[in-house]
Amino acid sequence: MHKLLCGVDIGGTKCATALVDTNGKIVDKINTCAHVDLNEDGLVKLVAGQIKELFSRNNLQESDVEGIGIGCAGHIRFKDGVIITTSNLKGFKNYPLRDKMQAYFKIPVILDNDANAQAFGAFKFGAGKGYTDMVFLTISTGIGAGIIINNKLYRGVTGTAGEFGHTIIEPNSDLTCSCGNKGCIMAHACGMALPYLYKKKINEGKVSKLNLPSNFNISKLSGQILKKGLDMDDPVSKEIISDSAYYVGLGIYNIFQTLNPPLVVLGGGLTNWGDFYLDKIKATFRELARDMIFDPMDIVISNIGADAGVIGAAALTIE
């Protein structure tokens, strides 16, 4: 019998803990939001308890499970299993999350960045199956990424490799990223940028069919709202989606020149914009790469879906 894998996806609002089989299918899962109000040690205790609960209600010994993979947003020092900083949770500055969790278990605990976890999940269980190298980009509130080289995550010296979202592609841009720099890809093409992009279009005199209520808090303008706009053929929504896609396409072109991978997999909420978005991303890439591309590079949307975080975290145990 193949062992099961255990994954934990610690997000800013939701924390998921799951048992996953070696085909990447969820066997059992516990979601919680209670972690948000806890301090560092409290969160570890909560999650460790939920893992033990999963083991127990599935009649598993710890030794029936390969290991525990944890994906967490923020800067992670992979070798040491330390969260250096994370903007998603209070505290957790230089917090040795891996060892703290390891104290509850004998099987190995692995801690990595959530984007790396999702990347490895897509590689093992999703669109990356059959490849040895790929790049994964997750485009939602922010932009994260993971690089697979020779069947393994490439993490760099600290563990922060793959931060394509923070590469600068418009140094004189009027858009400032959450990192403090101007003109990162993230500043132009993730969920956080949408309110700004919308206001800009409206200020340029463009008229949206979205019919947002007059008291609508524009900072809440989300990818889902623009998806509705796209479906109703709203020109402003389509322009914003198209502009975002342009910067993702340009980012993928830069990835192509840098790493020449055979595959780029896209995940994250904004991929729900679907073909209109993907087609513009691909068109931008092709237009820039033209006669410099000699082998196919596929750009596909991840097929793993909403549980990508926790499935990816589980995948870390079989890297």
Min dist. Cβ of residue 263 to its own copies (A): 9
Nearer to its own copies, 171 or 213 (CB): 171
Min dist. Cβ of residue 66 to its own copies (A): 24
DSSP 158-189: TS-TT-GGGSBS-TT-SPBPTTS-BSBHHHHH
Nearer to its own copies, 154 or 276 (CB): 154
Other CB atoms within a 10 A radius of the CB of residue 164 amount to 26
Nearer to its own copies, 55 or 120 (CB): 120
SS3 category, 218: helix
Q: What is the C-alpha to C-alpha distance for residues 302 and 319, in angstroms, rounded to an integer?
A: 19
- Enumerate the β-bridge partners of residue 157: none
Cα–chain center distance at 126? 14
Residue with tokens 């909560």: 46
Min dist. Cβ of residue 155 to its own copies (A): 7
Find out whether 303 and 266 touch, Cβ atoms under 8 Å: no
Min dist. Cβ of residue 245 to its own copies (A): 14
Residue with tokens 């020449």: 260
Min dist. Cβ of residue 133 to its own copies (A): 7
Binding site for its own copies (CB under 8 A): 75, 77, 84, 133, 147, 149-150, 154-164, 166-172, 179-181, 250, 253-255, 257-262, 288, 290, 292, 294-295, 297
Other CB atoms within a 10 A radius of the CB of residue 74 amount to 20
